Every structure is written in C-alpha cells, then in structure tokens.
Amino acid sequence: MVFVNSWGVWALALVSAIVARAIVRRYWTSIGDIPGPLLASFSNLWQVSQILKGHTETATIRLHQKHAENTDPYRVYCQGYFVRVAPNEISVSHPDAVRQLLHAQIAKGPWYAIMSLPDYRYVNQMSELDPQQHIRKQRNIASGYALSNIIQHEPHFDAVLQLLTSRLDDFCKSDRPIELDRWFTFFAFDVVGEVIFSKSFGFLEHGKDIRNAITNQRLLAPYAAVMGYYTWFHNLTLGNPLLSRLGIQPSSHILDTCIAAIEMRKQNPEKRNDMMQKWLDTRAKYPDRMEEVEIFSTAVGTLGAGGDTVSATIQALFYFLIRHPRYMFRLRDELDAAEARGELSPIVQYAEAQKLPFLQACIKETYRFHTAVGLGLPRVAPPGGITIAGRFFAEGVKFSPSRSFCVIQKVDSEVQTILSVNPWVFHRNPDIFGQDCDSFNPDRWLHGVLGDMMGAGYNACPGRNFAQFEICKLAATVFRDYDIEQVDPKQEWTWRNHFICVPYEWPCKIRRRSKT
C-alpha cells in the first residue's frame, strides 16, 4: 500500500508540474495578451497538429482573419496583425513585418536547424541561424548562383528540357494520361544535377524515381517539419552522423551522387565549370574563409530545396492556367505572336522568355497565389526588442507574477521571442494585393507596382535566379508546343504543406499543338 501511495504522489506531482508550466507559459509572459488557439499558448502541439494535417497555411490565414474581427480598440491586434501560434511564437501579418523581419539582419528561429543535411554537421544557408555567418556563407557560394553563371549553362538546361519534351511526345503518341507532377519533378531534379554536378540524376532518362529518392524525401518532409521543434530527438535518430556515414539514410541516392560528384572534381580539374567547380574554386582561393564541408552542405541543401520548390511552382503555373482558360489563351496568343515574329528558339531561351510580359505576370502571380513555402518563416526578436505596428516585442519572453512587474530571463532557445511571417498569410493580404487577393489574377502584375516583397534582403533564396531560369524556359516552351487539359476538368488537385506545398494527383491529357 505504501508503494502504491508513493507512485500516486509522484504522479500527482508530475501532473501538477505540467499544469503549472502550462499556466506560466500561457499567462506569465510578455506575449500573454496575444490571441490564438488555447493549445498554442502552452505547447508546440498546435503547430505539430497542423503540419500533420498538411495545411498550416490555411489554418494560419483563418486565425488572422478571425482576430481581425476583434473590435477592442485598446488592443493593437484588433486588426489581426498578431496571432500566437506557439508558447513563444507570434505569427505576424502586418505589411511592415517583411521589411522588419525577413529583410533585416536578425537571427533565424531555431526551427531552421532541422535543415542541416544530411546531419547536424552540415550547416547550410537554410539552416544557418546566425546572420553574420549566413552572410559569409552567401558570399562564398554567390559565384555559383549568379545569373551570369547560370546563363552560361543554358545549353545544358536545354538538353534536359529537350529530353522532357521527348517524354511528353511519347504521351502524345500513346494518348495515355500523363502525371505532370511526376515529370515536372523529374525535370527539376535533373536540372539541378546537371548544372551543379555536370550530371543529371537520370530521372527523365529512366522515366522513374531512381531508388525512390524523391519519394523518400517527400515522406521525410512531415518528419522534418515536426522535428524542427524537437531537433534534439532528430540528432539522435535520422540526423545522427552515424547513419550518413553508413549510407543508410532514406535519401542516400541523392547524397551518394553529391559525394561522387565532389570526388570526381578532385581527380579531374578540367571538369566543366559548373556550380560545384565555382564553389571549389572559391574554396581554393579562400581556404580560411570557406570550409570544405560548406561545399557539400550547399550542394545537398540546393538539392533538398531546389527540386520540389521548382516542381511545385511549375505545377501550380500549369494547373491554374488550365483552370483559367482566358489567361491561358492570352499567354498562347503572346507566345504565338512572338513565334510568328521569329523571336523564339525551338527551346525557348531565357532572354526570349524575359521579353514576354504576360508570361512573366503569370509566373509572378503563381509565386504569390501558390507560394512553394507554406510554413511561417521564424525570426528571433533582436537584442533590445522590436516594435511592429506599435506593438513592442521583447528579445526574450518575460515571466512575472503580475503584468506590471517583469523579470527578464536569459534568452535561449526556450525563452526566445519568435516572430514569424507566413508567406501565404502575407500574400492573401487585401491591403497589399487587392480585394481579389484570393483569386488567381496575373493582371495585377501588369497594372500598378507590386515589388518583390518576399524575395529581397540578405536572407533571400540564393537559388531564386536558378528557379526563375528553369520556370521561364519550361513554361514558354511547353505552353507554345502543347495543348494540355485535365482528364477530369472538375477534379481539383491534391497537395500537402510540409514546409513545401507539393501538389500531386491531377492527371492530364496532352497533345502537340498544330502549327498553322
């Protein structure tokens, strides 16, 4: 009986401690007045549950819209600018947040550490939290990502795109439905391999997902998104260096290709001057500034981010134009007119595609309407705090027995004030993009001035030129040469958001356009 009672006391003490911690997290904090889901105020489980459901972006949009209806004139969040999505994280929708958070040189939230691939030893630009180290890494790899360097590799882009069109022709001849999600993804990964390593992965050539590398990467996506909140557990399991040394991680095919490509260049300095060679040259010139591990981490990070993000954007561009025929016909008219004037090559060149204003408007609208990244982009409130829309956020969460007296705690991963901007929330802001912000409308980019509000600043995606290059060339070539429609025009596509909003299951019919 004494033994049973002892266990009961310990259980009660444990429950009491959990409840006390939840109460402290919810109420005795400087962000306790920010509205949000009850669960989010004392646990990360609200965010985890939304990640597992696959649509964090719509849930966050609804929260901001819900609290925009708050009419309390004494609270700055009455316009829905701030929503608490975790004990120490606030989702921010105010237009100034992009400039103040994403463009500013402030630290990323600790969630990004999960992006170190294949394990925590390989810190790339995505996973680097310190802004000064991020800038250093950016400077080291900038030559490879420069548009001037990418343009030099256009013949190699063309070769991959030519192979894709030959696969599309096979479907035209057989009259079989085509899963564009598969083929656009094969294209995106093969282009990355060709331009970084001078060697594609062979997905288009073999017409299949070799060693299930892409499938495994997507299966790992929800795991990675969740483990961003529990990196200590990840570092003991799939992020353990032992697994990468043994080559038994689920994405081993892509990692093996990276390793082989790097070793090949060490043995053959006359290799093509691709991105990898640019990075190796920088390493040779500045050995004290750039470590060898950065080359591998950058290559793997580019593969992890560059394949599915580009594929998701290409798919969205085609899907929304197919479902809005008036825009697709306008794009076709623009392409046909350029073709008639002799301004388009058999494989449309990047410089040619850049001169097509409606194509560019369609691509920009796709970036906005179906942003490839669908989770919040977290930043740490800087030393001294930050004020957004009149609301001050301290650099660390403040715990206190009352609202009037606060004791500043040590700022670490447990008590940092995290401010995040979800691109989907920002891109659905009617004050910025108009009352039709929930509609796909490329014309908004032809009338008025809408700046590149998500892509600037020191933290801009280093591969944005690379992605734009691929998307422009593929879209111009394929829309000019093929008629594409869904097998079932009433069937909406399926997609899930596990950081990248990856679509699938929207079979289409394809045929060559007649030249008249």
Which DSSP helix (H) or strand (E) runs through 220?
helix 213-227
Q: Using a CB cutoff of 8 Å and minimum separation of 24, what contacts does 330-337 make?
A: 330/358, 331/358, 331/359, 331/362, 331/479, 332/479, 332/480, 334/358, 334/359, 335/359, 335/476, 335/479, 335/480, 336/480
Sole residue written with tokens 């691509």? 363
CB distance 143 to 464 below 8 Å: no
Quote the pLDDT of residue 339.
97
| Closest C-alpha to 180, from 321, 281, 327 | 321
Strand-pair partners of 91? 83, 420
Parent domain of 62: 22-512
Cα 74 to the chain's mean position, in Å? 36
Domain count, the chain: 1
Is 17 inside a domain boundary?
no
CA distances from 86 to 26, 49, 281 (A): 10, 12, 44
| Closest C-alpha to 128, from 152, 108, 149 | 108
Quote the pLDDT of residue 277.
84
CA distances from 146 to 139, 152, 278 (A): 11, 10, 10
| Closest C-alpha to 498, from 135, 101, 48 | 48
Quote the pLDDT of residue 101.
94
**Domain containing residue 372: CATH number:** 1.10.630.10
pTM for this predicted structure: 0.89
For residues 448 and 275, give the distance between their C-alpha atoms in angstroms, rounded to a whole number: 37
Detail the residues annotated as belonging to a binding site for heme: 461
For residues 14 and 27, give the distance between their C-alpha atoms in angstroms, rounded to a whole number: 20
Is 7 inside a domain boundary?
no
Is 379 inside a domain boundary?
yes
Is 159 inside a domain boundary?
yes
Q: Using a CB cutoff of 8 Å and minimum separation of 24, what contacts does 121-125 make?
A: 121/241, 121/293, 122/293, 122/296, 122/297, 122/300, 123/297, 124/294, 124/297, 124/298, 124/300, 124/301, 125/298, 125/301, 125/462
For residues 466 and 489, give the distance between their C-alpha atoms in angstroms, rounded to a whole number: 32
Detail the residues annotated as belonging to a binding site: 461
Is 2 inside a domain boundary?
no
CB distance 11 to 19 below 8 Å: no
**E strands along 300-441, which residues?**
377-380, 386-388, 391-393, 398-402, 405-408, 418-421
Quote the pLDDT of residue 241.
81
Is 354 inside a domain boundary?
yes
For residues 83 and 420, give the distance between their C-alpha atoms in angstroms, rounded to a whole number: 10
DSSP labels for 93-131?
--THHIIIIISS--PBPGGGGGG-SSSTT---TTT---H
> Which are the contacts of 260, defined by CB distance < 8 A and separation ≥ 6?
none
CB distance 428 to 454 below 8 Å: no
For residues 289 and 488, give the distance between their C-alpha atoms in angstroms, rounded to a whole number: 55
DSSP labels for 33-98?
TS---TGGGT-THHHHHHHHHT-HHHHHHHHHHHHHT---TT-GGGGS-EEEEETTEEEE--THHI
Quote the pLDDT of residue 2.
47
> Which are the contacts of 394, defined by CB distance < 8 A and separation ≥ 6?
30, 381, 385, 408, 417
Q: Using a CB cutoff of 8 Å and minimum separation of 24, what contacts does 266-269 make?
A: none
CB distance 255 to 245 below 8 Å: no
Is 8 inside a domain boundary?
no
**pLDDT by residue, tens only, the chain of 516 residues:** 444 567 777 777 666 666 666 666 666 688 888 999 999 999 999 999 999 999 999 999 999 999 887 655 545 455 789 999 999 999 999 999 999 999 999 999 999 999 887 788 888 888 899 998 888 888 888 888 888 889 999 999 999 999 999 999 999 999 899 999 999 999 999 998 888 888 888 999 999 998 788 888 888 889 999 999 999 888 888 888 877 666 666 555 566 666 766 676 666 655 678 888 888 888 888 888 888 888 888 888 887 777 889 999 999 999 999 999 999 999 999 999 999 999 999 999 999 999 999 999 999 999 999 999 999 999 999 999 999 999 999 986 443 333 333 333 333 444 689 999 999 999 999 988 989 999 999 999 997 656 544 445 556 777 888 999 999 999 999 999 999 999 999 999 999 999 999 998 899 999 999 865
Is 5 inside a domain boundary?
no
| Closest C-alpha to 265, from 257, 254, 157, 291 | 257
DSSP labels for 381-420?
PPTT-EEETTEEE-SBPEEEEETTEEEEPP-STTTB-EEE
For residues 238 and 252, give the distance between their C-alpha atoms in angstroms, rounded to a whole number: 12
Q: Using a CB cutoff of 8 Å and minimum separation of 24, what contacts does 63-70 make?
A: 63/36, 63/37, 63/91, 64/91, 64/93, 64/425, 67/35, 70/35
CB distance 122 to 300 below 8 Å: yes
Quote the pLDDT of residue 413.
44
